[in-house]
Amino acid sequence: MPIDGFDTRFADLLPTAVLVVRGGILRYLNPAARRLLELDPAVPGASDHLMDYVHELDQARARQRLSAVENPAPDAPMAKEASEFRVVTARRNLRIVMTNSAAIALDDGPAIVITAEDMTHQSQMEAQLRESEREFRRLFENLQDVYYRTDVNGVVQKVGPGVRKVLGYEPREIEGQDAAFYYPQSEDREALKQAIAAHGEVSDFPGQMVRRDGQVIDISISSHALFDAQGRFAGVEGVWRDVTQRKNLERELYRLATTDTLTGIANRRDFLDRARQSFADAARRQAPMCLLMLDLDHFKGVNDRHGHLQGDQVLVRFAQTVAALLDGDTIFGRLGGEEFGIGLPATPEDAASMAQRLQAQVRLLRFSDGWGGHYGITTSIGVACARPGDRRFDSLLENADRALYAAKRAGRDCIVADNGVVLTG
């Protein structure tokens, strides 16, 4: 087939395969090339895209090779070393070819001429190649991890069949799409890009993706950057796997380790860890922080008169009532028995106001005694606030604890500040 700017008469006589490619499209194949790729009228719908005949595992390398020929570095040699590639023919047979390539100028623009020699000579080698291909295909099809490759713009170039099971999409539905579309949080995608840019690769990098049905799953990503012949970033290649089950287990173990099993709020260890961190952050920013210690008055009497089951219900209702009055910046936990702690970023005046609201709301609670009667509960509260220059959280904790016991000594159902002032009673 003649093309403007390239004399095909000599190439048609060569026993070596000759191909002319422009923009990834096959513009010319001599008879030897058509035989190599098994292109004949008996194969309908044959593709005219060069990459459709390059094996998946060699496509990234082939693109780099073409890019190097199209855009040679200023000091690059004119002649390119021969390269070996795996080729999949139109009849889906696997062959090994040795190629050389060079840039040429056609009448309608630059192109690349490629010569290819079939290196799959011996039947034993062919059998080994076919078995290797079958093994690769079997592993690739059944791989639990999802293989992927994106270009420099983050567009998915290739994705493995495992994506069917994990995301519910066919590979062809994802290829050609922006990978960012499948991330529920754009920050996750940006964090991955920055990590790869900084280190060239990531391993077990956490993230999330959205399934076709809208479900958000946790994933673990292991990837590395791809570069072209000039050393320029060309995309990312790697695998990711669904780790939702593992993450759910980790979250459940964390919840069990940090949550009070009765009330559902933070346990003593988690409360103190988070309050200590909040104290350090406040000290660094020179921001206010206060600590409230709460104790249910005469709780032993509730257990003695109404039983431990009723006592547990009182603790749960108390915790729910307090939690409903707190915002997201406040730390609330059970320190043990009927004692609770609250850490909040507030001035002494705001902390006192919060303590008074809590006390008033607790006084409104009513519980059945099981005999037709009802009873209420009260709470004693100690308030301590960090002072400028404080560097020890334990001092703040000790001050709040002393204020609480002062509130108990003052007759209970009252609030005492760490300076000994009775705020309400």
Q: Which residues are catalytic?
A: 338
**Cβ pair 339, 260 in contact under 8 A:** no
> Comparing C-alpha atoms, which of 362, 295, 302 is closest to residue 334?
295
CA angle 90/97/141 to nearest 5° reads 55
Regarding beta strands 201-210 and 83-88, do their DSSP bridges make them parallel or antiparallel, or are they unpaired?
A: unpaired
Residue 402 DSSP SS3: helix
Residue 50 DSSP SS3: helix
Residue indicated by tokens 């009802």: 374
**Cβ pair 28, 8 in contact under 8 A:** yes
User: What whole-number distance in Å separates Cα of residue 318 and Cα of residue 361?
Assistant: 10
Burial of 164 (0-12, 13-18, 19+ CB in 10 A): middle
**Cβ pair 412, 338 in contact under 8 A:** no
User: What whole-number distance in Å separates Cα of residue 353 and Cα of residue 254?
Assistant: 33
User: What whole-number distance in Å separates Cα of residue 210 and Cα of residue 218?
Assistant: 9
User: What whole-number distance in Å separates Cα of residue 33 and Cα of residue 15?
Assistant: 9
Amino acid at 391: R
User: What whole-number distance in Å separates Cα of residue 311 and Cα of residue 48?
Assistant: 79
Alpha-carbon Rg for the chain, nearest whole angstrom, is 36
Side-by-side strand order, sheet with 331-336: 331-336, 339-344, 290-296, 379-385, 415-417, 422-424
Cβ atoms < 10 Å from Cβ of 40:
11
